Structure 1
């Protein structure tokens, strides 16, 4: 029989959980914002001027920009592929964060669905996670 100290269990406190209460995905998108700013500096500057620090509207506008660029063939292929890299990075983050998932699905992916050429290219270039979100919008 093992004797245990009865006071040991009574003196320990439960650890406090450090969960954030806000639904703002801003700080978590820091690296994606940096990548977007580095690869699309003109778009990023103009969008930040119009929408401020609101990442939801920034990425919604980015979806519009990407879909329009694909439909009108205004951007080089490498630039378009970098745009899909931004969306794939968001999809990777969205697996852990539902706020980023909502932002991705209701923002850029929704604009890609409306453009037929952009949707076809997205099905080839997006990651499996992002493709799943895109297919759920098609239904």
Structure 2
């Protein structure tokens, strides 16, 4: 049986079908340390947050990706903020292959973005990284 689940990755990187998103690059978040994992979600909303909150210039993008290896629940969200993983957020040490792009998507409201940025700033002031590994 094949996995028919669609997975998304939000970013500001300009990628193309066939590209690999792999660990080892600067994280899109926090202090931008080298990422030990790559992240994806099975919900468009979580990927939208990823696209909107990623650091860097350019517009947010949401890619449709397929894992090339095992994925696990993202402990940055599931253990701390959303027990049970309702955001369906995952991570992997194996790359994801870009298989498409969601060209038309609805971003969050300016008020929601302002609230999220304020929340992330409070966490930063407390010494909490958005992504720990």
Shared fold, TM over 0.5: no
Structure number with larger C-alpha Rg? 1
Q: Larger helix proportion, structure 1 or 2?
A: 1
TM-score (norm 2): 0.23
Q: Larger strand proportion, structure 1 or 2?
A: 2
